[in-house]
């Protein structure tokens, strides 16, 4: 489906991170300070977004909801789409600096080979809620910050340090040199509740299909396992990540 705005601009030709879809995601965008070019909103939508946007001198175009949904990445924009500046990607040094600024031990989430926008969006949302200092994913072989990722994250992408790296293993080695311990989730590891996670930590989450690759597993200082009591032998990637993130929160008090 051709995703064009009301002036014929091809939205699909834009940087994916500069298109924000969904009511909560657009609200968080308005709060974030990122420059917004324009907001498209269905005529039937609640007026609160319109009022907030216009109070901030953001241009708003009210259009038919069916037309708006044809502009959406997945046809589920919840009645609102914003065009804004692309995400400003950070570095792991920025994440460590943020931890120092907060007086906290670094806590970084690394996604290795995720292909589901729903998983990445959910992980970014949980990472923001858990107080992580950043989310890292590889430049290749991974989903990026798409409109769906932003919507599923409920706009958390606007408040989280996000980095794209060329090589996850090199990033792990760089973090280890900076005093950050590295851990990954895998079935044959130590039970996650029995490991000391109240340390400077980078937690690696593997891809949906293959999980943690042998090279990344070998590189990590720790391998953590979540006990499985049912017939299935694995959890959804974002669920596993959430469980481990909140164990870090629990241990740090």
Distance CA 218, CA 98 (A): 28
Q: How high is the pLDDT of residue 177?
A: 97
Same domain for 138 and 36?
no
- Among the three residues 84, 107, 127, which one is the final residue of a domain in this structure? 84
Closest-CA residue to 207 (of 198, 196, 199, 216): 216
Q: How high is the pLDDT of residue 140?
A: 84
Same domain for 131 and 228?
yes
Please answer whether residues 4 and 71 qualify as being in contact, where contact means their C-beta atoms are separated by less than 8 angstroms.
yes
Q: DSSP assignment, residue 195?
A: S
Number of domains in the chain: 2
Q: What is the pLDDT of residues 66-89, one digit of tens each?
A: 888 888 877 778 889 999 999 999
CATH code of the domain in which 64 resides: 3.30.1330.30
5: pLDDT confidence band, cut at 50, 70 and 90? low
231: pLDDT confidence band, cut at 50, 70 and 90? confident
How much is the average pLDDT of 136-149?
90
CATH code of the domain in which 216 resides: 3.40.1280.10
Same domain for 231 and 140?
yes
Q: How high is the pLDDT of residue 7?
A: 56
Q: How high is the pLDDT of residue 212?
A: 87
Determine the 3-state secondary structure of 68 from DSSP: helix
Distance CA 96, CA 74 (A): 35
Asked if residue 109 is part of any domain, the answer here is yes
Same domain for 31 and 128?
no
Q: How high is the pLDDT of residue 9?
A: 54
Distance CA 97, CA 228 (A): 37
Closest-CA residue to 250 (of 161, 131, 136, 108): 131
Same domain for 149 and 215?
yes
Q: What is the pLDDT of residues 160-215, one digit of tens each?
A: 999 999 999 999 999 999 999 999 988 888 999 999 999 999 999 988 777 888 99
Total Cβ atoms within 10 A of residue 228: 11
Same domain for 60 and 171?
no
Determine the 3-state secondary structure of 185 from DSSP: strand
Same domain for 102 and 68?
no
Same domain for 60 and 162?
no
Same domain for 27 and 108?
no
Q: How high is the pLDDT of residue 4?
A: 63
Asked if residue 232 is part of any domain, the answer here is yes
By residue range, what is the domain housing residue 19?
Answer: 11-84
Same domain for 30 and 119?
no
Q: How high is the pLDDT of residue 6?
A: 60
116: pLDDT confidence band, cut at 50, 70 and 90? very high
- Among the three residues 84, 100, 123, which one is the final residue of a domain in this structure? 84
Asked if residue 196 is part of any domain, the answer here is yes
Total Cβ atoms within 10 A of residue 166: 9
Same domain for 99 and 206?
yes
Q: How high is the pLDDT of residue 154?
A: 93
Distance CA 224, CA 81 (A): 40
Asked if residue 2 is part of any domain, the answer here is no
Q: Which residue has the higher pLDDT, 174 or 113?
A: 174
Asked if residue 1 is part of any domain, the answer here is no
Across the chain, mean pLDDT equals 90
225: pLDDT confidence band, cut at 50, 70 and 90? very high
- Among the three residues 84, 106, 135, which one is the final residue of a domain in this structure? 84
First to last CA, the chain: 48
Asked if residue 226 is part of any domain, the answer here is yes
Is the confidence at residue 97, as pLDDT, over 60? yes
Q: How high is the pLDDT of residue 72?
A: 83
1: pLDDT confidence band, cut at 50, 70 and 90? very low
Is the confidence at residue 46, as pLDDT, over 80? no
Is the confidence at residue 3, as pLDDT, over 70? no
Q: How high is the pLDDT of residue 70?
A: 84
Q: Which residue has the higher pLDDT, 13 or 190?
A: 190
């Amino acid at each position: 489906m051709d995703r064009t705005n009301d002036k014929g601009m091809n939205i699909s030709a834009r940087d994916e991170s500069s298109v924000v879809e969904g009511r909560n995601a657009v609200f968080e965008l308005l709060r974030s300070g990122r420059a917004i070019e324009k907001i498209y909103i269905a005529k039937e939508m609640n007026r609160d977004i319109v009022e907030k946007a216009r109070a901030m001198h953001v241009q708003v175009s009210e259009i038919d909801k069916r037309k708006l949904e044809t502009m959406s990445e997945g046809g589920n924009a919840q009645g609102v789409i914003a065009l804004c500046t692309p995400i400003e990607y950070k570095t792991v040094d920025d994440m460590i600096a943020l931890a120092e600024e907060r007086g906290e031990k670094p806590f970084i989430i690394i996604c290795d080979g995720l292909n589901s926008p729903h998983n990445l969006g959910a992980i970014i949302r949980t990472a923001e809620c858990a107080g992580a200092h950043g989310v890292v994913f590889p430049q290749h072989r991974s989903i990026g910050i798409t409109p769906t990722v932003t919507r599923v994250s409920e706009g958390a992408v606007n408040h989280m340090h996000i980095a794209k790296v060329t090589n996850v293993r090199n990033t792990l080695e760089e973090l280890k040199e900076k005093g950050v311990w590295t851990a990954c989730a895998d079935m044959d590891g130590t039970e996650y509740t029995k490991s000391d996670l109240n340390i400077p930590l980078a937690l690696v989450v593997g891809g949906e299909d293959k999980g943690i690759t042998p090279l990344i597993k070998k590189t990590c200082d720790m391998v953590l396992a979540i006990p499985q009591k049912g017939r299935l032998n694995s959890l959804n990637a974002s669920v596993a990540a959430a469980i481990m993130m909140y164990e870090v929160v629990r241990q740090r008090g």
